[in-house]
Amino acid sequence: EIDHNNVILNSYQDDGWFINVDLKQLRKYHKDSGFDYNVVDFSRHHGRGTEKVFFVGRTAADLATVEQQIRQRYADQVSITYSTPQCLEVMNQGVTKANALAHLLQDRQYALSDCIAFGDGMNDIEMLTEVGRGCVMGNADPRVKAALPHLQQIGLNRDESVATYLRALFNLV
């Protein structure tokens, strides 16, 4: 049972984003893209075309309970990860950023080993370990840093560290 006072339910379905409460602070994340959510009652809302379900919690402890319940019921059917410490994502088994990148490369003359990736969330771990060069952001979730101590850590997102890193790597001014 989900504590709806402390955990907000979201889903991406086909081309839509659905949420069970109006949480205006989430709108800022998608303002530039034009991809905005619709508030729905999930007990009456269809589940067709669901690509991802995610839970935003007030605390990590709130999400730990949800994660435990999902793992107990559906562990062999879903991929579960955290994009931020307060955002638990649930997708079909095998859905990862690494697999998505590999799919994009299928018709190109590149392999994962030819790629550079930057990440800061638990949902980046597979991608960071499967590319040729994985870089962990300085502001990454501490669990990412602990899981990938062998990868290079670069600066913070807010300091445009990816651009700085790429300019230095490719000797661009």
Q: For the sheet containing 133-136, what is the strand order?
A: 116-119, 133-136, 152-153
pLDDT value for 34: 77
Q: What is the DSSP letter of 67?
A: H
Tell me what the pLDDT averaged over the chain comes to: 92
Greatest CA separation for the chain: 56
Contact 135, 116 (CB under 8 A): yes
- For residue range 7-35, list pLDDT tens digits in order: 999 999 998 999 999 887 777 767 777 78
Residue written as token pair 């300091």: 159
Structure tokens at 20: 């069970």
- For residue range 120-154, list pLDDT tens digits in order: 999 999 999 999 999 999 999 999 999 999 999 99
Domains of the chain: 7-92 (3.30.1240.10), 97-169 (3.40.50.1000)
- Sheet strands (E) in the chain: 7-13, 16-19, 37-39, 50-57, 78-84, 87-92, 116-119, 133-136, 152-153
Q: For residue 14, how many other CB atoms are within 10 A of its CB?
A: 8
